[in-house]
Amino acid sequence: MAWWGTFIGGTLGYVFGGPIGALIGAALGGNLDRGIKMGDQFDTGNQERVQLAFFTTTFSVMGHIAKADGHVSAQEISSAKNIMAQMQLSAQQQKAAIKLFDQGKATSFPLEEVLHQFKKECHGRRNLLQMFIEIQIATALADGKIDNTEKRILHTIGEILGFSRSQIEHLFNIANGAKASVSETLTLAQAYKILGVDKGSSEAEIKKAYRRLMSQHHPDKLVAKGLPDEMIALATEKTQEIRKAYDLINKHL
């Protein structure tokens, strides 16, 4: 939570402008008067700055996707709250996250502008951007389905952040497999989809895919790239899902 304390304390040595800065300003309002000025200068790559950008973009885009089909379902609200619970956010952070979620629901929410700045703030760190997309997909799946509007937005998000359509579909497979894993109904076919390999793949190919996915989702590596410390639990959950799929496949080799 060091990044949050530094931000609220008004001791960050940079300014935050652009659409993400506007979201922060609306969500945290008065706190910005305690030493942080809004502006257009950038010091991208700063660890705490990246963490703040990730937090801000995650919850605002989450709200935008939830409202994509015209209404926000109880399941989507519950999913957002579950993510907050997993992150063990402080009361102040939860309040900010809810305000960001609400901003994302607005028809005027500048999705593309926010995503372009987010990618810049993250210096295009692919593993970090992928984790962001996976969180958004998990939220969209909260009500058990993804409608065409939500899927179109998720593909747009992927395209702006540098992911192909097939790569986004693979992330859908991981998310669907994760839901099955939680309910203890993970099938062998789903396990193969989670690892992104075919049933006829060799043991070496399966192991290579497994190691690549585990490396992409390694909590320590993601935090080092700018994932907020509070989201370690989400990254750890992903590695558990991948390991479960790998173990299931190994039992049938």
The per-residue pLDDT for range 37-46, each reduced to its tens digit, is 444 444 444 7
Give the number of domains in the chain.
1
The C-alpha atoms of residue 17 and residue 155 are separated, in whole angstroms, by: 26
Q: What is the pLDDT of residues 131-164, one digit of tens each?
A: 999 989 988 887 777 888 889 999 999 999 999 9
Residue 118 burial (CB < 10 Å; 0-12/13-18/19+)?
buried
**What are 216's two structure tokens?**
């992409």
Domain that holds residue 90: 2-251
User: What's the whole-model pTM score?
Assistant: 0.83
Alpha-carbon gap, residue 229 to 2, rounded angstroms:
8
Percentage of the chain modeled with pLDDT above 70: 84
Residue with tokens 């939500």: 150
Whole-number pLDDT of residue 232:
83
